[in-house]
Structure 1
Amino acid sequence: MKSPSKRLKNRNIDVLKITKYAVLRLYNMMVYMILPFGLMGHLLLVWRRPEFRQGFWQRYGILKPMFGQPILIHAASVGELNAIAPLVQQLRLDWPVLVTTTSVTGAARFKQLFTDMPQVEHRFLPFDIGFANRRLLKRIQPRALLLVETELWPGLIAACHQRSIPVWLINGR
């Protein structure tokens, strides 16, 4: 017979698992409910500001594959890219590296920092939508995901967890 403390501990773990699952389900339902409005807003933004056409399809998970199981590093924009430049320069010596950004200015800064490094590539990170995250991970097959500072994407983190891809928060606060 289990001791009362072990039963309580197991019950707490079960409650945590159920709560985590329920919160993630609620998050995904809300994302899919606002998806049509988000898509219309994205199309309007692209129509009004042509520079946002860059990486349009990548934001929905349609991107070219990268071979060699890269380390996937998400740095949202310019500041995060500047912070991770030394790390990327070291990691590229042992593994291919894929850096994702969410901003056009981040993509431009990537080109400035890493043009002479063919083993370092850039893509735009898809929106945090289930199908886009699954497609990203299927096409890229990363060996790990590094999130810079406080760029936390619940859907992406959950998709990585489902595929046993390690996730690390670097330079977090």
Structure 2
Amino acid sequence: MRLLYSLVWGLSLPFALFRLWWRGRQEPGYRQHIEERLGFYAPYDASPTIWVHAVSAGETRAAEPLIRSLLAHYPRHQLLLTHMTATGRETGGKLFADVASRVRQSYLPYDINWMMRRFLRHYSPQLCVLIETEVWPNLIAQCTSAQIPVTLVNARLSAKSLKKAQKLSTLILPAAHAISAVAAQSNPDAQRLQELGIDHPSVTGNMKFDVTPPAMMAERGAALRRSLGDRPIILCASTRDGEEELILDAFLEQFPLLEQAPLLMITPRHPQRFDQVAQMIEARGISYVRRSAFDHEVVTPISDKVQMVLGDSMGEMYMYYATADVAFVGGSLVPLGGHNLIEACAMGKAVLTGLHTFNFSEITDQAIAAHAALRVDGARSMLREALALLHDDKKRQQMGKSAYAFFLQHQGATSRTLDILKPFLN
């Protein structure tokens, strides 16, 4: 089955390269460092290397506390941080700018045997640490051949993803069995990983709870808030394709007189959709401004006629949460699985989420049980609930306090994960 998988990858390579070029129209990062995706790299010194693979921006942010702990505990080691997306690489560059001399970034090659062999020979990592959901058959097979232990940390697996993986069991099972250690986010994740064929996964929690919100983001949020005046602000964070239309139409339905509406802030999850969402707003005749129009430090006051802010920047989610009174976390109005609520809770905000949270089911259920979040059944009910919270200062503030307490309660996953990795590094 792996031979067939490798053949399909080889035949698909020209299409994969074309896709890079095509995505590079909107995200230039996809047209850079293409040679790395084919297994060709710049010279690298022979320092002992720990390799962490974080596919995109979310995984990279989740890996931050672990990477910093590894750098602190193993000062003689270099850290290799690989990605698959341009936003992941950009995020990593910003997060680790202060330790750039010890953190080298690269794209991971496509999961083709000869490319993976070149990659492993070039960097000779002592350990492979995969973040969250990455199980690549050839990567794991080549690491096994080179006697490089593979670990999967902050691991999560939804019921939907499990069913998909089980359909490819003859391909996935050998890779799962070859993983040396797994640190799962939750008990349900651990149970599903066992069903996939991973033996004895440990439950360590979610490392995103250990990410400290940067003070500068709170300061930027306060500055942005001052520029927006006294209007209450509803944030729709990390929205996905199919959600913005629902939110905008519900907003116009709820507030036909826009001058009486609260300020709505929408931050699309993916940067390639910023212009698309801007067109949706313009088509509905809503006055809006882009975040990118503001200076980071000195924010120019906006007109009272502006009714919407389009968050078209990356790496500022904490700032957006700091600015808002109520936060809705996207990816949950349509069946995409949702996003985690941790950043909103870390900023002490009352949180709303939709029905479709199967990628983060346990953490969402726990946040709701802790009175940190409320579930809504659509865009209209989300705006109605947000408006009710804006009119109920006591409930909104209590939800914010509960959210922050929930965030503090679940910290500690990084140290537990580090304990699992230590035997492979000592």
Fold in common (TM above 0.5): yes
Q: Kindly tell me: are residues 159 and 111 of structure 1, through their superposed partners in 2, closer, same or farther at Cα, counting changes over 3 Å?
A: same
Q: Kindly tell me: are residues 82 and 39 of structure 1, through their superposed partners in 2, closer, same or farther at Cα, counting changes over 3 Å?
A: closer
Q: Kindly tell me: are residues 73 and 86 of structure 1, through their superposed partners in 2, closer, same or farther at Cα, counting changes over 3 Å?
A: same
The equivalences for 1:22-61 within 5 A come to: 23-46=1-24, 50-61=28-39
Aligned-partner Cα distance in 2 for 1:169–1:145: 8
Task: Pick the aligned partner of 2:70 from 73, 86, 91.
Answer: 91
| Aligned residue number for residue 96 of structure 2 | 114
The residue matched to 2:44 in structure 1 has which SS? Answer: coil
Task: Pick the aligned partner of 2:49 from 51, 70, 86.
Answer: 70
Q: Answer whether contact 1:148 1:169 (CA < 8 A) is retained.
A: yes
- Residue 166 (structure 1) aligned with residue 152 (structure 2): no
Structure number with the higher helix fraction is 1
- Could you give the per-residue CA deviations for residues 23-48 of structure 1, whole angstroms, max 9, x where no partner exists? 21121121112223333433444467
- Could you give the per-residue CA deviations for residues 133-164 of structure 1, whole angstroms, max 9, x where no partner exists? 11110110100111000012111111101101
Report the alpha carbon displacement of residue 79 of structure 1 after superposing the two structures with TM.
Answer: 1.1
Q: Kindly tell me: are residues 82 and 27 of structure 1, through their superposed partners in 2, closer, same or farther at Cα, counting changes over 3 Å?
A: same
Report the alpha carbon displacement of residue 69 of structure 1 after superposing the two structures with TM.
Answer: 3.0
Aligned-partner Cα distance in 1 for 2:24–2:153: 31
Q: Answer whether contact 2:38 2:110 (CA < 8 A) is retained.
A: yes
Report the alpha carbon displacement of residue 49 of structure 1 after superposing the two structures with TM.
Answer: 5.1
| Aligned residue number for residue 141 of structure 1 | 124
Aligned-partner Cα distance in 1 for 2:114–2:23: 22
Q: Answer whether contact 1:73 1:147 (CA < 8 A) is retained.
A: yes
Between 1:32-41 and 1:114-123, the stretch displaced more is 32-41
Q: Kindly tell me: are residues 152 and 64 of structure 1, through their superposed partners in 2, closer, same or farther at Cα, counting changes over 3 Å?
A: same
Q: Kindly tell me: are residues 135 and 172 of structure 1, through their superposed partners in 2, closer, same or farther at Cα, counting changes over 3 Å?
A: same
Q: Answer whether contact 2:21 2:30 (CA < 8 A) is retained.
A: no
Q: Which runs of no fewer than 5 residues in structure 1 stay unpaired?
A: 1-22
The amino acid of 1:56's aligned partner reads I
The residue matched to 1:52 in structure 2 has which SS? Answer: helix
Aligned-partner Cα distance in 1 for 2:70–2:57: 19
Q: Which runs of no fewer than 5 residues in structure 2 stay unpaired?
A: 157-426
Q: Answer whether contact 1:59 1:126 (CA < 8 A) is retained.
A: yes
Q: TM-score normalized by structure 1?
A: 0.80
Give the CA RMSD over aligned residues.
1.7
Report the alpha carbon displacement of residue 132 of structure 1 after superposing the two structures with TM.
Answer: 1.4
| Aligned residue number for residue 11 of structure 1 | none
Q: How many residues align?
A: 151
In percent, how many aligned pairs have the same letter? Answer: 36
Aligned-partner Cα distance in 2 for 1:139–1:51: 23
The amino acid of 1:102's aligned partner reads M
- If asked which structure has higher relative contact order (CA below 8 Å, sep 6+), I would say 1
Aligned-partner Cα distance in 2 for 1:112–1:47: 22
Aligned-partner Cα distance in 2 for 1:168–1:46: 32
Task: Pick the aligned partner of 1:157 from 121, 136, 140.
Answer: 140
Point out the structure with max Rg over C-alpha: 2
